[in-house]
Amino acid sequence: MIHSLVSWNLKNSRVCGKSGSQGTLTGVGLSIGYPMALNGSPSGLAVMSAAPEGPAEKSGILPGDIILAIDDRSTEDMDIYDAAERLQGPEGTSVDLAIRSGSNTRHVVLKRQKVTLNPVRSRMCEIPGAKENSKVGYIKLTTFNQNAAGSVKEAIKKLRENDVKSFVLDLRNNSGGLFPEGIEIAKIWMDKGVIVYICDSQGVRDIYEADGVATVAASEPLVVLVNKGTASASEILAGALKDNKRAVVYGEPTYGKGKIQSVFALSDGSGLAVTVARYETPAHTDIDKVGVTPDRPLPASFPTDEDGFCSCLRDSSSACNLNAAQLFTR
């Protein structure tokens, strides 16, 4: 969620803080993107995710909200890189945002602060009456910073100590981050198979594969949750797990961000973004502008937090309930 575009040079999302890929940032704790793929509106900039316990989340800003202005400067024609620079600043300084949530517009003043990024939240969900997979390990991955792969491994280890034998990996509203971390996390769940192809106009240029060396959990049943805020590195991971039949993917089509671009500075101070390659899933699906299509939908009321997830699994009468007995079946 809070990341630098290092080794994952795509123009369609940007973080609002410094040193995000290193595990901490100074800013407001937002990941932003262009709203076209989120709600069909070309106006403003879309909130893709908010850092847990960051200034934006504490103020009630949610994924899907639209930033209309930053310090009274309209974002209608603002580049996300410009927006990110405006949202950054010294710790303790403030920034005024005009936010549209649905049909409501409000002003929010956020004070910039250092945010420590733990990219993983996890918990064990126990399902009463379930014969198999009665203990499900839920792992919420919010960003691909340099701590991501290690944090996922640690979460798996702790959940196994509670006799968890199946997992749910939640990538909803994860807008990506460090490409190498995405590859390493795929290797945690896969002991073999192609993870992603890098292609250009001449065809396949490079192939990333799992070789079993870094595998931690290649056999337990696995579900992956995605939505329209799942982008870039998250889409690569979801596509790899789906195409290799390692996981059942639930949710809605993802953001669709699969271009690799280089930005060239022009003499007038502007920049020119040139597409140099693209990412394809193991099944050679070009996800750009299309996204990864899930195997199954989620109920419209399905929650995005770990407590709500467990409640929906436990309560068979709930509108958001998923049949635990069929959860991991393709």
pLDDT tens for 74-103 read: 998 887 668 878 998 899 999 999 999 989
pLDDT above 70 for 110: yes
pLDDT above 60 for 205: yes
Helix/strand/coil percentages in the chain, nearest 5: 20, 35, 45
- Is it true that 24-116 and 120-328 share their CATH fold? no
Task: Calculate mean pLDDT across residues 196-211.
Answer: 95
- Residue with the bigger pLDDT between 207 and 45: it is 207
pLDDT at 6: 26
pLDDT at 3: 28
- Residue with the bigger pLDDT between 156 and 40: it is 156
pLDDT at 38: 44
Instruction: Give residue limits of the domains in the chain.
Output: 24-116, 120-328
Under the banding of pLDDT at 50, 70 and 90, the label for residue 5 is: very low
pLDDT at 7: 28
Q: Which residues of 218-245 are buried (b: 16+ CB within 10 A; e: fewer)?
A: bebbbbbbbbbbbbbbbbbbbbbbbbbe
pLDDT at 15: 44
Strand 248-251 relative to strand 222-226, pairing: parallel
Catalytic residue among 49, 151, 175, 232: 232
Output the CA angle 177-91-24, nearest 5 degrees. Answer: 30
pLDDT above 50 for 204: yes
Q: Reply yes or no on whether 153 is catalytic.
A: no
Catalytic residue among 140, 228, 242, 257: 257
pLDDT at 198: 96
pLDDT at 23: 54
- Residue with the bigger pLDDT between 102 and 217: it is 217
pLDDT above 80 for 234: yes
Rounded distance, CA 245 to CA 148, Å?
23
pLDDT at 22: 53
- Residue with the bigger pLDDT between 272 and 240: it is 240
| Domain 24-116 CATH superfamily | PDZ domain (2.30.42.10)
Task: Calculate mean pLDDT across residues 297-314.
Answer: 87
Rounded distance, CA 125 to CA 314, Å?
8
pLDDT at 8: 30
pLDDT above 70 for 117: no
Q: Reply yes or no on whether 257 is catalytic.
A: yes
3-state secondary structure of 119: coil
What stretches of 40-119 show up as alpha helix (H) in DSSP?
55-58, 80-87
Domain 120-328 has CATH 3.40.50.150: no
**Of the given ranges (69-83, 173-187, 212-226, 260-274), which has the lowest mean pLDDT?**
260-274
Length, in residues, of the chain:
330
Instruction: Please report, rounded to a whole number, the percentage of residues in the chain having pLDDT higher than 70.
Output: 88
- Residue with the bigger pLDDT between 12 and 73: it is 73
Rounded distance, CA 320 to CA 298, Å?
8
Burial class for 209, CB neighbours closer than 10 Å (0-12, 13-18, 19+): middle
Average of per-residue pLDDT values in the chain:
85
pLDDT above 90 for 4: no
Q: Is the pTM of this model over 0.75?
A: yes
